[in-house]
Amino acid sequence: MSESISKKTERIYDVFIAGGGVNGTGVARDAAGRGYTVCLCEMNDFASGTSSASTKLIHGGLRYLEHYKFRLVQESLKEREILLNMAPHIIWPMRFILPHSKGMRPKWFLRLGLALYDHLGFRKILPGTKNVNLSNQQKPSPLKDSFNSGFEYSDCWVDDSRLVILNAVDARLKGAQLKNYTKVINVESDNGLWIITTEDSLTGEVNRVKSKTFVNASGPWIDEVLKDSFKVKNSKNVRLIRGSHIVVNKLYDHDKSYICQNKDGRIFFIIPYEDSFTMIGTTDIEHKGSAGKVQITEEEKKYICESASSYLKKSISTEDIVWSYSGVRPLYDDGASKAQEVTRDYVITAKEYDYSLMINIFGGKITTYRKLSEAILEHIEGFLGKQGNPWTETSSLPGGEFKISMLSNLESNLQKKYNFLSNEIIKRLIRSYGQISFDIFGDCQDTQSLGEHFGAGLYEIEVIYLLEKEWAKSSNDILFRRSKLGLSISDKGLKKLDLFIKKYNEEESVKVNNTSAKKEVDVA
């Protein structure tokens, strides 16, 4: 259950973090693991912004080589394997096919770039690049016959929102206090401390907390936090670049992805998604509206469909879209003229105010979030003094305490213990929770012991776990961030889930009120 920030005690924390995306939760986890006291608040749900709207890739950024971003590519490739070892349940290897045709760069040039990609990051786990004949594949290619050759290379897939949630869970296990749906509404500096006022978005409750350092990890809202809470005038540090994706029914029957180049030079991906679907994206468009109101436009839908259709044997239209999502990348404004040329690297600023420290995080990519967290901790150590050594490089996220080579064994063990569950459910549980699956289902021996079934393989026992242990507050939190079951659940199942959560929250509220009343009586 969520921890409350008490106005009465006004505990003084070492680190306060505004923002519950991958950067914020990553910093919280690293700092708490070193022994610092940590408090994090997120104004919406964890991973509700940019961190759940990515292309779901842990990658080096093959296209960054064209812009000579060798350091960023090398760092990203190194982190790719670190993260794969850290969370082999929610991150797994994926092979990408780069098709070649007339009019593209020469094959020797592409092969040289891929060879560089293979060796920059000291690759150990993932297989290297190879040439492929697309007209002679074990499983038929969905691409047009004109794309009959190309290259195949490695990167990784990630369940981005679960990466955020698991960082938050581990941060809490190490002593951090985290609260979602809690907005920072004011920040003041007083006698070497930040006085942070927060408001619960669901109840309206206002609380106050003190901290020695303030980490602004609010992503697209970073300039708003600086303006509204810190009263910084003319704050313009980030460019909001909208990236949109579409999801259609499964287009082909294998697990490889395609990286394609549109006529305008932009890269897009065609990726297997949640077993029954295919995801296509992304776009790179300057976002002029509110960071809180981001949605795909009809023009973007058409653009993605036309781009994909230029490669696929079977063309797709906007009518084929079963779901879509959009997010904004809060990229550091480096003055680039084109959206796709803006740096994907992170920028950190640190400044002391009245003997208290403020750190701002601009930009960054999901692949390098752990490295970014270490960079933030260097600033915190320099200000507060060293508490512990860097530790996350060789760590595991909750549920991922096994080697990637043992994934199939883990799946077999889960299937053996819970043989009443379908293979599809077992696979989803492993990809979501890893070893934690055994904790969730405990000694259950049949489907009846799992409680109410809401459809799509979602049972009451899992819902309660998400409500109690992963801060879920609504069906949307469960169906689109802690899982992607929203793509499969029926309207009837959704209504059942909504009613269950409402009843559960009401009962929990009564318990809390009764406990508070008892404490007051005992004190009296």
Running DSSP on this structure, what letter comes out for residue 314? S
Burial class (CB in 10 A: 0-12, 13-18, 19+), 510: exposed
Q: Could you list the residue range(s) of the whole structural domain that residue 220 is in?
A: 12-50+162-236+344-394
Burial letters 237-249, b for 16+ CB under 10 A, else e: bbbbbbbbbbbbe
Residue-level length of the chain: 524
Judge if 409 and 506 occupy the same domain. Answer: yes
* CA 437 distance to own-chain centroid: 20
Q: 3-state DSSP: the chain helix, strand, coil percent, rounded to 5?
A: 40, 25, 35
Which residue, among 212, 196, 195, has the nearest Cα to 387 in the 3D structure?
Answer: 212
Which residues have C-beta within 8 Å of that of residue 455, sequence separation ≥ 6? 488, 489, 490, 492, 493, 496
Could you give the CA distance from residue 242 to residue 294 in angstroms, rounded to a whole number? 8
* CA 160 distance to own-chain centroid: 3
Burial letters 9-30, b for 16+ CB under 10 A, else e: eeeebbbbbbbbbbbbbbbbbb
Judge if 261 and 304 occupy the same domain. Answer: yes
Residue found by looking up tokens 């670190």 in the block: 82
Q: Is 385 a member of any domain?
A: yes
Which residues have C-beta within 8 Å of that of residue 394, sequence separation ≥ 6? none
Q: Is 522 a member of any domain?
A: no
Q: Is 461 a member of any domain?
A: yes
Running DSSP on this structure, what letter comes out for residue 246? E
Judge if 287 and 217 occupy the same domain. Answer: no
Could you give the CA distance from residue 524 to residue 520 in angstroms, rounded to a whole number? 6
The CATH number covering residue 110 comes to 3.30.9.10
Judge if 273 and 127 occupy the same domain. Answer: no
Dmax over CA atoms of the chain, in Å, equals 84
Split into its structural domains, the chain has a count of: 4
Q: Is 318 a member of any domain?
A: yes
pLDDT tens-digit profile, the chain (524 residues):
344 444 454 789 999 999 999 999 999 999 999 999 999 999 999 999 999 999 999 999 888 887 778 888 999 999 999 999 999 999 999 999 999 987 777 888 889 999 999 998 778 899 999 999 998 887 889 999 999 999 999 999 999 999 999 999 999 999 999 999 999 999 999 889 999 999 999 999 999 999 999 999 999 998 888 887 777 766 667 889 999 999 999 999 999 999 998 888 889 999 999 999 999 999 999 998 888 889 999 999 999 999 999 999 999 999 999 999 999 998 887 655 455 555 667 899 999 888 899 999 998 899 999 999 999 999 999 999 999 999 999 999 999 999 999 999 999 999 999 999 999 999 999 999 999 999 999 999 999 999 999 999 999 999 999 999 999 999 999 999 999 999 999 999 999 999 999 999 999 888 777 766 666 556 55
Running DSSP on this structure, what letter comes out for residue 312? B
- What does the block give as tokens for 444? 């259950």
The CATH number covering residue 416 comes to 1.10.8.870
The total of other beta-carbon atoms located within 10 Å of residue 52's CB is 24
Judge if 150 and 168 occupy the same domain. Answer: no
Q: Is 97 a member of any domain?
A: yes
Q: Is 212 helix (H, G, I), strand (E, B) or coil?
A: strand
DSSP line for 134-166: TTS-SS--SB-TT--EEEEEEEEEE-HHHHHHH
Judge if 285 and 324 occupy the same domain. Answer: yes
Summarize pLDDT for 203-231 with one digit per residue, the tens. Answer: 999 999 999 999 999 999 988 888 877 77
Cα angle for residues 441, 447, 451 (degrees, 5° grid): 75
- What does the block give as tokens for 216? 């602004």
**pTM for the whole thing?**
0.94
Q: Is 57 a member of any domain?
A: no
Residue found by looking up tokens 């022994």 in the block: 35
